[in-house]
Structure 1
Amino acid sequence: MNNNFARFKAFYKTASLWSGSLLGLQQFPLKEFDFSYLNEEEALELPAIPQGTVLGKRAEYFFKFCIEKCQNYDLVLSNAQIFNKKVTIGELDYIVQETTTGQLVHIELVYKFYIYNPDFQSSEKDDRLIELSKYRGPNGRDNLIRKINHLKNHQLPLLYHTETEALLNSHSISIENIKQQVCFLAHVFIPHKFWNFKFKYINKACIVGYYFNISAFAKAETQNTYYLPEKFAWKMSPYPTALEHTFQEVLESATQSLERGFAPLVWMQLETGKFERFFIVK
């Protein structure tokens, strides 16, 4: 498999955070796309993504690329900004059309890294919300419930705003013919002792690693080889990068990174050659 195809595959194999419907949000899984005609050995020209593009925006480039490369959906609109006078009030991520049925689908894309904190205390009353509130961003500035609420209360309703009507009319799109879904992709990291825990509501295929707080990591020294992947590579299966690190180097780097407010992702290569990946958090 060539490297470009490996990067592409790393994206479209990303698991949806849940299957079917959750809290009224219907999932659009990447496995909906038909790439059966592609040859993994042939050259594949990936979208040109500007240097420094954040992970969420990189995912948007790859999702659009998926639509353009698949056999069963056509792209109608992407990243369509909606204006009230001259002020942007939001953006429709994608409207696609299924080629055989003609069904139009408005899709909002989400691409997240979460840690599962079993000790997080939520003020929610609903058991589902209490459990789902335990999924937090590694840096502590993001959480699953907030994102779900934003999708339900802002992003999806934007389709039905008066300001959106002119855009849809210009593409001969009738509101009555559109269904709405979310493509909510996630990589979840859990406490090591929860590896065999039966998680409610989420797709266990999203669980790709674990996490340490910095004090626990400081006590977990090994002679393994460590790598600190750049953010663009976080979605990839771990591989040896050009720069290797010792445990002490990672501990020092992680301490400095956390002081700046950023939890680092670490790839650790075992003596067997296998990799483990984990976040180091405060």
Structure 2
Amino acid sequence: MISSLQQQYIGFLNTPQLLFNPDEFPYSNFQLTEVRENLPKDFKMPDSIRLGQRMEVLMEAALSSHRYQILSKNLQVIAKKQTLGELDFIVKDLTLKKTIHLEMVYKFYFYRPELTGSWIDKLIGPNAKDALRFKLNKLKSHQFPILYRTETANYLKTLDLKAEKLLQQMSFKAQIYLPLNHKINEVEISKDPIQGFYFRLEELEFFNKTDFSFYIPSKNDWVSAPILKTTQTDRFSVFYKKINAALKEQRSCMFWVFESDTKVQRHFATWW
């Protein structure tokens, strides 16, 4: 049986990137290729770290292949005892013979068609606190420019690097969920990141059918593709009580819907 960590790793590798035109975001996508498909046998995930940090650990595992050389990870730039920021990865692509400052993001977003603006303005996190527009602005105004700060030069010097010689790229992996009954062809986004729908509590009655069973994965498993056959599922009444309790605490939850041993979907339930 595949371990949960391996399942998370597979899900991470298979999660599509968001695609931006240069006017929307000036940094190109990092193309992760020729990676190891299985985690090393001695792989360990640090305890008690946030989901975003877990994705960085999985990215590090993916980069540990014959094609890439990781020169630096989470390089903190500090001046006068104040942390100015950090560079996620500095990676040497041995095939292309390029050194890359790589920033990485892994996000879950709800598409909110009622909001004004472009598709970027309509993607909001599951608990309504995390907006794609805000994230892109922070990356452009703060995260990527750190490379060119004078304080960073000394750190790069220890790696025998100069900022102007580095290519800056982004890996922005995301899962996007649409409102119930919203048609995919009405969304001005690449279809690949669209994984399912989000439901308010009363809309979950849509699934109250005898041939459906349900599973609520832990947050660490949100990145995983739903696991067939080995998952212990609930009937609708039990599932509904669990979801209702979570939503009362204002916590949006991913859930998996099993229609058969071979067909499964993933969606979100939301409190707002």
TM-score (norm 1): 0.86
Give 1:132 shift: 1.2
The count of residues paired between Structure 1 and Structure 2 equals 268
Give 1:29 shift: 4.0
Give 1:244 shift: 2.2
Structure 2 residue aligned with 1:34? 34
- Distance in 2, matches of 1:173 and 1:43, equals 30
8 Å CA contact 2:9, 2:224 repeated in 1: no
Q: Does 1:189 align with 2:177?
A: yes
Q: Does 1:49 align with 2:38?
A: no
Q: Deviations over 1:111-170 (max 9, x none)?
A: 0001111112x3xxxxxx532111110111101001101100111111111221110111
Q: Does 1:212 align with 2:208?
A: no
Alignment of 1:4-43 (within 5 A): 5-18=6-19, 21=22, 23-30=24-31, 32-35=32-35
8 Å CA contact 1:209, 1:277 repeated in 2: yes
Gap change, CA 1:260 and 1:85, over 3 Å in 2: same
Candidates 257, 261, 266, aligned match of 1:268 = 257
Gaps (5+ residues) in structure 1? 123-128
Q: Does 1:79 align with 2:74?
A: yes
Gap change, CA 1:207 and 1:18, over 3 Å in 2: same
The one-letter code matched in structure 1 to 2:247 is: L
Structure 2 residue aligned with 1:94? 89
Structure 2 residue aligned with 1:126? none
Give 1:266 shift: 0.6
Instruction: Give 3-state SS (helix, strand or coil) of 2:49's partner.
Output: coil
Instruction: Give 3-state SS (helix, strand or coil) of 1:79's partner.
Output: strand
Give 1:102 shift: 2.6
- Distance in 2, matches of 1:161 and 1:270, equals 54
Structure 1 residue aligned with 2:128? 140
8 Å CA contact 2:72, 2:89 repeated in 1: yes
Q: Deviations over 1:44-87 (max 9, x none)?
A: 32631123322111100011111112x32211111111112212
The one-letter code matched in structure 1 to 2:223 is: K
Structure 2 residue aligned with 1:172? 160
Candidates 125, 134, 137, aligned match of 1:149 = 137
Q: Does 1:58 align with 2:47?
A: no
- Distance in 1, matches of 2:11 and 2:206, equals 32
Instruction: Give 3-state SS (helix, strand or coil) of 1:25's partner.
Output: coil
- Distance in 2, matches of 1:22 and 1:260, equals 39
8 Å CA contact 2:67, 2:95 repeated in 1: yes
Give 1:20 shift: 6.3
The one-letter code matched in structure 2 to 1:89 is: L
- Distance in 2, matches of 1:259 and 1:22, equals 40
Identity, % of aligned positions: 28
- C-alpha RMSD of the superposition: 2.3
